[in-house]
Structure 1
Amino acid sequence: MRTIRYVLWGLVAVAVIAIAGFAFMPKTGPGLQLSAIGGPFSVVDQKGQPVTEAALKGHPSAVFFGFTFCPDVCPTTLFQATQWLKQLGPDGDKLKVYFVTVDPERDTPEQMNNYLQAFDPRIIGLTGSRPQIDGILKAYKVYSKKVGDGEDYTMDHSASVYLLDSNANFVGTVDYHEKDETIMAKLKRLVAG
């Protein structure tokens, strides 16, 4: 009987230690600080109008980084974003979708405006000078690298869509290979606030 009591008290002690350990564990993955994603920036939209980080507040946002000469990922993602906005129905008007260039040398406001004509008119293109774009890429921890030389170069870049709440806080991503059901569930939660 005494042995059983010691075993039970030992199990209680282990449970208390485990619960305390979980309570003090970091709430995000190793090295990931959600608050560290985002920050000040100043660029222009496809109409040449100034845009700062303040534009991301007051509504949920989906932010994608790419370039207009992209052969596959960018047009596919923007086509998907067009479909997301339609599938959200009236809630689609609550979500702002931003397409931020990683190639400002070619993606002028005029080029962005022409390119975005093929997609939902609610999608907003953002561009600027190389230092301005480098600033937003750094703030959002976006990978981008020029590949090749001459006029036919391409760009390697992150392919995820960043999801931001109405306070412009990073809350997650949409991965390029996620299923539509998963994406729509994320977007519905995002616009529901």
Structure 2
Amino acid sequence: MKSRTLAITALSLSAAFVAALVALMWSLYLAEPRARPFEASFALIDDQGRPVDQSIFKGHPALVYFGYTHCPEVCPTTLYEVADWINALGGQAQNLKAYFFSVDPERDSQEVMHDYVNAFSSRITGITGDPQEMKKVVDGWLIHAAKLPSENGDYHMSHTVSLLLIGADGRLKGLIPYGTDREVALAKIRDVLLKQSGGG
């Protein structure tokens, strides 16, 4: 009986180790830029009610963030930083776009998104629409987005918190993790996006 218990314990520990290893490898994979271009087709709207499709990722460098307006801390902090970065870059950022895609389009209507993004900067474009269409974008960039129940009976969203740096060719050039130092973020935007597009 004792040997059987030890065997079960060993198997459990092995399974836990494998699960932890897989999780680590997956997190490292998500942290690496994926150089392939965005290939999915989708139909959404921006916060002005204008139609938006996959062509939004071509022709100019862009800062792309996935979040939601009910987000308590990470999303507003990130959008505040995006507004600050654009302001700090000045003329260098004249061709730089900034997009805030909602991972909670059921609650984030066009009007809600418009009021939300404009509280940070008129340079940030909010994008929402049909949940199935948004899922195409989320899956296309391998973004994590999951609805989780809250204690009050409502729900909140678990989502990727890194900001994507998309080149004018529509390819992912890099990431800015949440909490990155301001000067480090500005240097990365200049080096990874603006110099390549002629904005530096």
TM-score class, shorter: 0.7 to 0.9
Q: Which runs of 5+ in 1 are unaligned?
A: 1-28
Bigger radius of gyration: 1
Partners of 1:163 and 1:146 in 2: how far apart?
A: 25
Cα displacement (A) at 1:36: 4.2
Partners of 1:188 and 1:89 in 2: how far apart?
A: 12
Cα displacement (A) at 1:112: 0.3
The match for 1:14 is none
The match for 1:53 is 54
Cα displacement (A) at 1:129: 0.7
Cα displacement (A) at 1:33: 7.4
Matched ranges for 1:97-116 at <5 A: 97-116=98-117
Partners of 1:104 and 1:92 in 2: how far apart?
A: 28
Q: Give the TM-score normalised by the residue count of structure 2.
A: 0.77
1:29-74 deviation per Cα after TM superposition (whole angstroms, max 9, x unaligned): 8796723463323211011111112122111011000000100000
Contact 2:33 2:172 in 1 (8 A): no
1:65-110 deviation per Cα after TM superposition (whole angstroms, max 9, x unaligned): 0000100000000000000000101122221000000001000111
Partners of 2:37 and 2:143 in 1: how far apart?
A: 10
Q: Which runs of 5+ in 2 are unaligned?
A: 1-27
Determine which of 166, 191, 195 is the counterpart of 1:192. 195
Partners of 1:30 and 1:73 in 2: how far apart?
A: 22
Instruction: Letter of the 1:83 partner, please give it.
Output: D
Report sequence identity in percent.
35
Matched ranges for 1:57-96 at <5 A: 57-96=58-97
1:117-147 deviation per Cα after TM superposition (whole angstroms, max 9, x unaligned): 2111010111111101111100010001111
Q: How many residues align?
A: 165
| C-alpha spacing 1:64/1:33, structure 2 compared with 1 (3 Å) | closer
Partners of 1:94 and 1:36 in 2: how far apart?
A: 22
RMSD: 1.9
Q: Give the TM-score normalised by the residue count of structure 1.
A: 0.80
2:162 counterpart of 1:160: yes
1:131-190 deviation per Cα after TM superposition (whole angstroms, max 9, x unaligned): 011111000100011111677311010001010111111111000021112111111121
Partners of 2:128 and 2:104 in 1: how far apart?
A: 8
Partners of 1:155 and 1:113 in 2: how far apart?
A: 20
